[in-house]
A and B are shown apart, each in its own frame.
Chain A
Amino acid sequence: MTLTEIRPPIAPEARYSPRVTAAQAPVGNNAESAFARGDDNALRLAYDAHGRMVYGFCARSLDPERAKDVTQEVFVSAWRARHRYDPAKGRLGAWIMAITRNRIIDNVRSEKRHSDRRADEDTIDLSTESEVDATSDKMLVADALLELPERAREVITLAYFHDLTHPQIAERTNIPLGTVKSDIRRGLARIRQHLESQHD
């Protein structure tokens, strides 16, 4: 593949729109298999699908300049290591986020060691890793939420981000209470699938 062959497949203004539905979003098994094979445009599709999540993760963990650099390093490394990605073992987003996590932890550790040479390295490592892992989980969940069917996304958003009870959601949305509960459960299960990865 040469540089000229990886042209943007969609107009820049259409990128990253939260209004892009799951059906339009350039993710899914075909795009993930294409990435593993190294097809033309596959990296661009992966960036369009996961660039915001990776950058959001970096921006919440590192200073802006490092966030940009690390995001770049992550996509370059992911592309170099694409032969190690197996779509059968998990979603591409989760695999790329695992690469991002490791890069961020390396950066945070080196920053902390630099700023406080007397700090206990074990303590730094434990707190760093748990904070970074928690941020990674949040970004993956935020990204997965965008891919849920609209009704499930709305119900979960009302439940978790507007603190409505299930009966309140049923009343607000005119959806039967039983359906609200089943939408939430199914939504949680589908989000979970986004986070799973059996890669080493």
Chain B
Amino acid sequence: MTDDPMNLTANEASIDAILRSMTVADLELEDPPADLWSSIEASIALEEVVPVSDNVVDLTTQFRRRPTILVAAAAALIVLVGVFVASSGSDDSTYEVVGGAELTWADGFVDAGVDASAAAAILVDGDTEAVRLDETMLPAAPEGEDLELWLIGVDSTGELTIQSIGVIDDPSDDRAYEVPAGFDPDAFDTVLVDISFEPRDGVAAHSGASVVRGPIVDA
């Protein structure tokens, strides 16, 4: 090329210079990781379900737990609660840590969570999974409300499955929260850990008032 000047305009010359600085490797743009789109989709969808507008009713329908899961979860809890009580507390040495999540506040979450953070460890013991909260810096729930722990699964079509894991009585304890057997984290492209404020109003669905949230990554 250099042997053949073409009297390029400034605009053309600027591209000519960039092309000359490139190698074939610059043309080989690799595909983003396969799960990246679902993470983007989940991130945006979860922002949009936060009830900062009048859409609350509409949006929280997505958060309504499915009756079948509730039944399964209730059954599983009855079976597992005895086992769990025995193995919870400070000794979860029989559990293997298989993943973790850094939970942070985001735009649209409750204002009280702006400085909040938490780490969640995903524990497995046989067929039993549990979530343990570590390094929690969480605001106290407002009067008449609780802090509640959730898992949010996003499948390959973008559909959300929201599963309550339990009410957080004391964020600083090292209790592990059992994941109900009806919720299979492996069935989803992305699973997020979420902590919300939940009014004691008898409504089982997620209020949309998230405090912190973060995606689970493998340990």
A→B interface (CB under 8 Å): 1-4, 6-8, 12, 15-16, 43-44, 47, 51-56, 59, 68, 71-72, 75-76, 79-80, 134, 137-139, 141-143, 145, 156-157, 159-161, 163, 165-167, 181, 184-185, 188-189, 191-192, 195
Contacts and interface: CB of A to CB of B under 8 A. Distances in A.
A15 to B, nearest CB: 7
A55 B36 contact: yes
B22 A142 contact: yes
Interface stretch (B23-31, B123-131, B170-178): B23-31
Interface of B: 1, 3-4, 6, 8-9, 11-12, 14-16, 18-24, 26-27, 29-34, 36-37, 39-45, 47-49, 59, 62, 107, 154, 157-160
Contacts of B31: 15-16, 52, 55
Contacts of B158: 3-4, 6-7
Contact of A76 (B14, B20, B40): B40
Given A3-B160, A192-B14, A166 B32 contact: no
Contacts of A6: 41, 44-45, 158
B177 to A, nearest CB: 25
A55 B41 contact: no
Given A2-B48, A43-B44, A161-B22, A188 B154 contact: no
A52 B40 contact: no
Nearest to A74: B40
A157 B14 CA distance: 17
Nearest to A5: B158
A90 B41 CA distance: 25
22 contacts: A3-B41, A3-B42, A3-B160, A16-B31, A55-B36, A56-B30, A68-B36, A71-B32, A72-B36, A72-B40, A76-B43, A137-B18, A142-B27, A143-B29, A145-B27, A157-B27, A163-B1, A165-B4, A167-B4, A184-B6, A189-B11, A191-B15
A26 to B, nearest CB: 14
A3 B154 contact: yes
Contact of B37 (A2, A51, A159, A163): A51
A142 B16 contact: no
A165 B19 CA distance: 15
Contacts of A137: 18
A181 B18 contact: no
The 8 closest A-B pairs by CB, nearest first: A3-B45, A55-B32, A56-B29, A188-B12, A160-B19, A52-B29, A188-B15, A3-B158
Contacts of B43: 72, 76
Q: From B3, B26, B39, name the one whose CB has the most chain A CB atoms within 10 angstroms.
A: B26
A134 B21 contact: yes
A95 to B, nearest CB: 17
Given A1-B48, A72-B43, A159-B1, A185 B19 contact: no
A12 B20 CA distance: 34
Nearest to B20: A160
Contact of A72 (B9, B27, B39): B39
Contacts of B19: 141, 156, 160, 188
Given A3-B62, A160-B1, A161-B24, 15 more contacts: A3-B154, A4-B159, A43-B40, A47-B40, A68-B32, A139-B29, A141-B18, A142-B22, A156-B19, A165-B1, A165-B3, A166-B1, A167-B4, A185-B8, A189-B12
B1 A138 contact: no
A31 B41 CA distance: 18
Contacts of B4: 165-167
Given A6-B41, A159-B1, A189-B12, A53 B48 contact: no
Nearest to A73: B43
Nearest to A59: B30
